[in-house]
A and B are shown apart, each in its own frame.
Chain A
Amino acid sequence: MARINPKFTTELQSYGAFDTNACYNCGNCTAVCSLSDEDNSFPRKMVRYSVLGLENEIQTSLEPWLCYYCGDCSTTCPREAEPGELMMSLRRYLTSKYDWTGFSGMLYKSLSISVIAFVLLAVGVIWFASSLNFEPELLLHYGHYFEMSAIGSVFLLILFPNLIRMWNMVIRKPKVNVSFSAYLKSFSELIVHMFTQKRTLGCDDSQTRWFQHLILVIGYLSLLFTTVFLDWFATNSSFILILGYLESVVIFSVTFIFMIGRLNKKTQVSKNSHPSDWFFVIWLFLMGLSAFVVRLFIDLDILETNIWMYLIHLTVLVQWAVIIVPFGKWTHFLYRSFAMYFEKLKSLSVS
């Protein structure tokens, strides 16, 4: 028994959904979706749950994460109810529900809160830099120190508890019976999907998007590794030096392509951009570009006289690590792959 809550669609609209109510249950979206099978009706089931406001059913569902937004459903929808965009909004909604701090929801729902958060962090960085008298060596030192501690604390304090909450919502609360060995056996699923996004291949006709996404993820993760653990900005190894350059070029070029796509709105997936989508892609672009320029300035030996450049990079980095990674779109990197993992667990528990 589930009670209908007609107010839910209004809430979903604050996550970016629109016109979901226009759905008249024709099922074209399900017919065209390559993910649909006998057990899972993509995306109509989620559309219906959303229209009826069945929050409990939505929160225990993994479907929103299993959809990689090819947009076929939205282009075939005779009512222009945008089922694809609804799935996107449900991912934002779920991210907010998984997040124990509640910041995700606030940032997704309110652009002004997001802007204020970005501005406050920028002011904080500049205030901190001024307290160090804009001393380049100190700044670089603390910058590197921040990177290392941010990775650890964001993961430990925010992301790990949120993953536990996700597990609780989709596995424990619905009483999915999973054996311990299943957790181990399916673990490879998590790793494979985290680093390859293999599932996207089944979604798009063209595999360009998957390829761009893949090299972006690899570029991003390896630049993270290169800067944090190989200390790119201070390295003497020419291998690491070139590696860092390459990685940052990959990041800002691919994100540049993504931004152009979102501006042109030619494909269904890039037609509707929520502020959080823009923040994600712009900040990733700025990260790559500013890191590249900072290293270039170091190599040209002009950074000390142009420390503002490093300040820009540090600001972008702090905003990225404190807002976008724990509470923003970055989390989809984790939730998507964990969703594949949990889905596998669910399938094992059935058999």
Chain B
Amino acid sequence: MKKKIGVYVCHCGGNISDYVDVEKVRAEIEKDESVFLSKTTMFACADSNQKDMVTDIAEKQLDGAVVASCSPTLHLLTFSAVAERAGLNKYNYIHANIREQASWAHSDDKVGATKKAIQIVKAAVAKVKRSNALEPFRVAATNAVAVVGAGIAGLRSAIQLAESGAQVYLIEREFFVGGRVAQWDDLFVSNETGKELITRLYDRAMNHKNITLFTGAEIIENSGSVGNISLKVRISPRHMKLDCNEGNLGRAIEVCPVVVPDKFNFNITTRKAIYHNFPGEYPQLPVIDMEHCTRCGECEKVCENVDFSQKDEFLNIKVGSVLLATGFDPYEPKDDEFGYKTIDNVVTLPQFKRLVHYCDDKLVYKGKEVKNIAYIYCVGSRQVDGENKYCSRYCCTATIHAAITAKKKYKDLYNFHFNRGIRTYGKQEVLYDESSRLGDIYLQSFEDHPPVVSKEGDKTIVTINDILTADKTLEVEADLVVLVTGMVPRQDNSIGSLLKIPRGRDNFFNEIHMKLRPVETVIDGVTIAGASQGPKNIMESMNSSLAAATKSFSLIAAGELALSPTIAKIDVDNCLWCGKCDDACPFNALTKTDVDGKQIAVVNGSVCKGCGMCMPVCPSNAIELIGYTDDQIESMIDALVSTD
């Protein structure tokens, strides 16, 4: 129990003292014999008062301090810092809120407000009497980061981390890196191709000694916590020997009887079960797609590099942090959504972009030359009835860019944009300007009256009530209808489930605070980058990749982590392991452990957040929360309800 406590009662200008008799509060508190010093002050947070407090604490050797002022949200950190400057452990400082909880709440009852303030301060004094000096909980941090996903965001993050000095494990589920960007040609504004961007990043990443790339790799197990995360990675084989003879490979692809839709081209073309990378994809090695391979053995006969004996490999790695850059999936329209899959010339924007890639002089789809293209915007985004309420951000710009590209590439092409308001924000506005000057026609409708795609004979007609033409019903005979599909979260969320990453209402990975902590998740040590967090264009993805890389690196940079000491503590004698605490813990911080032949719960200090959920469920009351012990809390309650 402390004997030399200092108490400071703040006027807060008049915010407190207009309703609470601060002098009376001070006088009442002074009666407590543990209170060595008590003062009132006009502004406790003012520099002059902070200096006085430092002098008081240091010279008079105070062993505890209380400031009765505003909400701790405002100034708890201020006065904790004052205590530390004076050489007093910050956990021996207790904050009492008599502004929000007394003067402001009871401005109609000055006597009552004063009485309540006295009890609040008494409770704080009761707690500080029983408080202990605490030191941060320190854990060693492994200087390695697992970057999940080797698209443009993952590659960029990996390079940043490697250059900062961390060991990087770049884990890609597919057999090739490059992600979505590798699938795209010219990009606004530089007109570099996606392939060029990926090639540049891939070369940089592969030339850095700190980066190890795994393709066909997936994290299947995870344990530990920030600073020390253990991951088990499964690496699927390519079933091809690394030194592959290209000539025979061509023959092997030729003889493979299995034909499947090519996902790289969004199913507008097909490939064989044994296939090679596209120019923007790396590494430049072939692979056998075992999901579709029938093991007929034809390829083995013509290519000696085929190796069906290769097996899954498992790898255990230890990292200090995990950076997720798992990207997005393009929205897949429902059957008959704007004629998708029911009308033969309806495609999605990603398919259209691949189509333009393959058509040289004439734009031809399914054997017919395309002259009039109708783009229907916001398909799968800003849905009125569906779940995707969000705007996918990139699609207006991507569509207009694709339309301009097509218009310049092919003769006599006409673009019709059936939109719900064009959002080519920022510099992207110049694209809209260019497109409209090139003669593209923009037609707009509200969300409750979307355009209609219908078939009249062998013609495809798109109809709209155009709000820019006084709601007049207008129609376009379209040779091709392009559904401008937005971004949706990856369909396969296995990594998110494994790491318990919360998802937002849009189902993308959720950050802690969208403005102030935009790349951290509530799972300590796991950061998120790129479109895994929500729709982003490449520029925005790069911003978030670099931010996430920096944030992940900051966790491991010092070699150890200082964590808050206010965590749960198990009373070894009383604990009988019933498992209720484990059920109640939202962070999986408790594990059943054998200690000297007894099964008890053990707290993982680097995972526990000190939320206290385990304490009330413990039947033998074997859990204490450091800094908020039963003794402290009970004494505060006694002080609050005392009537003298």
What residues make up the interface of A, taking CB atoms closer than 8 Å to B?
1-4, 6-7, 9, 19, 21-25, 41, 45, 48-49, 51-52, 54
Known: A3-B474, A24-B442, A25-B468. 11 other contacts (CB 8 A): A1-B474, A3-B475, A6-B416, A21-B436, A21-B439, A21-B440, A23-B436, A24-B432, A45-B469, A48-B468, A52-B469
Closest to A48 in B: B469
Contacts between chains A and B (CB distance < 8 A), count: 51
A49 contacts which chain B residues (CB < 8 A)? 469
Closest to B464 in A: A4
Beta-carbon contact of A24 and B436 below 8 Å: yes
Most buried by A among B436, B473, B475: B436
B372 contacts which chain A residues (CB < 8 A)? 6
**Binary interface profile of B, 466-479, with partner A (CB < 8 Å = 1, else 0)?**
00111011111100
Beta-carbon contact of A22 and B474 below 8 Å: no
Beta-carbon contact of B470 and A1 below 8 Å: no
Closest to A10 in B: B439
B338 within 8 A of partner (CB): no
Beta-carbon contact of A2 and B472 below 8 Å: yes
| Bound CA–CA A4/B470 (angstroms) | 15
Beta-carbon contact of A6 and B439 below 8 Å: yes
Closest to B374 in A: A4
A7 contacts which chain B residues (CB < 8 A)? 414
* Interface size grouping (class) on chain B: 20 to 34
Interface residues of B in 360-414 (CB under 8 A from A): 372, 414
Beta-carbon contact of A4 and B475 below 8 Å: yes
B133 within 8 A of partner (CB): no
A3 contacts which chain B residues (CB < 8 A)? 474-477
B441 within 8 A of partner (CB): yes
Beta-carbon contact of B436 and A6 below 8 Å: no
| Bound CA–CA A306/B465 (angstroms) | 69
A2 contacts which chain B residues (CB < 8 A)? 472-475
B31 within 8 A of partner (CB): no
- Select one of A1, A6, A23, A45 contacting B473, CB under 8 A: A1
Beta-carbon contact of A19 and B437 below 8 Å: yes
B440 contacts which chain A residues (CB < 8 A)? 21
The 3 closest A-B pairs by CB, nearest first: A6-B414, A25-B468, A21-B439
| Bound CA–CA A3/B478 (angstroms) | 11
**Binary interface profile of B, 419-451, with partner A (CB < 8 Å = 1, else 0)?**
000000000000011001111111100000000
Beta-carbon contact of B436 and A52 below 8 Å: no
A6 contacts which chain B residues (CB < 8 A)? 372, 414, 416, 439, 441
Closest to A2 in B: B474
| Bound CA–CA A7/B476 (angstroms) | 13
Beta-carbon contact of A21 and B475 below 8 Å: no
Beta-carbon contact of A4 and B468 below 8 Å: no
| Bound CA–CA A279/B137 (angstroms) | 92
B472 contacts which chain A residues (CB < 8 A)? 2
B432 contacts which chain A residues (CB < 8 A)? 24
B473 contacts which chain A residues (CB < 8 A)? 1-2
Q: What is the minimal beta-carbon distance from B375 to any residue of chain A, in angstroms?
A: 14
Beta-carbon contact of A51 and B475 below 8 Å: no
| Bound CA–CA A45/B468 (angstroms) | 9
| Bound CA–CA A7/B477 (angstroms) | 13
Beta-carbon contact of A22 and B437 below 8 Å: yes
- Select one of A4, A19, A25 contacting B474, CB under 8 A: A4
Closest to A23 in B: B436
Listed A/B pairs (23) with beta-carbon separation below 8 Å: A1-B474, A1-B475, A2-B472, A2-B475, A3-B474, A3-B475, A3-B476, A3-B477, A4-B476, A6-B414, A6-B416, A6-B439, A21-B437, A21-B438, A21-B439, A21-B440, A23-B436, A24-B442, A25-B468, A45-B469, A48-B469, A52-B469, A52-B474
Beta-carbon contact of B476 and A9 below 8 Å: no
| Bound CA–CA A41/B472 (angstroms) | 14
| Bound CA–CA A312/B469 (angstroms) | 51
**Binary interface profile of B, 15-36, with partner A (CB < 8 Å = 1, else 0)?**
0000000000000000000000
B463 contacts which chain A residues (CB < 8 A)? 1
Closest to B432 in A: A24
| Bound CA–CA A22/B432 (angstroms) | 10
Q: What is the minimal beta-carbon distance from A55 to any residue of chain B, in angstroms?
A: 13
Beta-carbon contact of B441 and A45 below 8 Å: no
Beta-carbon contact of A45 and B477 below 8 Å: no
- Select one of A9, A24, A25 contacting B439, CB under 8 A: A9
B476 contacts which chain A residues (CB < 8 A)? 3-4
Closest to A49 in B: B469
| Bound CA–CA A61/B372 (angstroms) | 28
B477 contacts which chain A residues (CB < 8 A)? 3
A21 contacts which chain B residues (CB < 8 A)? 436-440
| Bound CA–CA A7/B440 (angstroms) | 11
| Bound CA–CA A24/B441 (angstroms) | 10
Q: What is the minimal beta-carbon distance from A255 to any residue of chain B, in angstroms?
A: 36
B469 contacts which chain A residues (CB < 8 A)? 45, 48-49, 52
A25 contacts which chain B residues (CB < 8 A)? 442, 468
Most buried by A among B432, B463, B472, B473: B472
